[in-house]
Copies of this chain bind each other. A is one copy, B any other.
């Protein structure tokens, strides 16, 4: 950690600060420039409260050199983490294709979609039971019944399932769920993350709409600090000024995270763009960028069928996308 002091700071103030820093257990190297004095803090700086330091009157700015994340940091864990999901693996060269409806709506719907996406190459079934909605007046999901229906689809198809949790008190309902998803809006719900750190089950952690990669890794750290190291990261688009797309899919997050961490990285192109027509090109791009998994929404909605004729992503369309993803993976891995 480096602390740059302001111009005109007195010798006494510098000494006081250095003594206080040494009491926190770090060594301090002082370099005096013409306009600034720079303190290099050496040792275990993770206990230094960076915000407190930055807030001192005599401090101009603070720069953390070693990243604040530890368990998730590739520096201390160079090999890719491989996470087991039922009989499958994700990470370390193991790619999984996750598909299913936005919301679980009925037994018929989830079974039909599950069998269709399985036939087209999906390996994990997704479906929302608890739905975070901006409006309290919108449909909030089938909740416990939705999880029951997902488990039924799992039993019928043999596919592992992933679904979102919104409240740690609901954990008992997730006992047979294979991967628990934390949604973008809960990425910094630290109380929920702490509870998920106590269980032994893969967690798919979605990046918040306005969260940096560093914050995403710090949230993974909350889970891992509790003992659960099975964290899968998910890029799903960030909030920008562009309005044609719902969010801006930040695919550079995939290679950047690969450098920073050993955890698997999955991409969700459906929520990122909010436009079914963009799912195919962005799914192929995610595969080319090196994602360990891709999560795609496949609809099977009678209301939509009525109005739209062919559904937004039919089984045929999904099959086409899945096939091309496989070919791109071959090119990337050569």
- Say whether A254 faces chain B, with CB atoms less than 8 Å apart: yes
Flag the segment in A84-92, A106-114, A154-162, A284-292 that touches B.
A284-292
Q: A116-136 toward B: CB 8 Å interface, digit per residue (1/0)? A: 000000000000000011111
Residues of B within 8 A of A132 (CB): 188, 190
Tell which of B42, B58, B213, B251 touches A244, judged by Cβ atoms closer than 8 Å.
B213
- Say whether A316 faces chain B, with CB atoms less than 8 Å apart: no
Complex CA distance for A68 and B65, rounded to whole angstroms: 22
Complex CA distance for A103 and B134, rounded to whole angstroms: 31
Instruction: Look across to chain B and name the residue whose beta carbon is closest to the beta carbon of A132.
Output: B190
Q: How many copies does the complex hold?
A: 4
Complex CA distance for A31 and B41, rounded to whole angstroms: 10
Does the CB pair B252–A250 fall under 8 Å? no
| Size bracket, chain A contacts | 35 or more
Residues of B within 8 A of A225 (CB): 136-137
> A78: shortest Cβ distance to chain B, in Å?
11
Does the CB pair B66–A13 fall under 8 Å? no
Does the CB pair B245–A63 fall under 8 Å? no
A-B contact pairs, 10 of them (CB 8 A): A4-B63, A4-B65, A33-B40, A36-B65, A49-B139, A57-B308, A134-B218, A212-B241, A244-B256, A248-B248
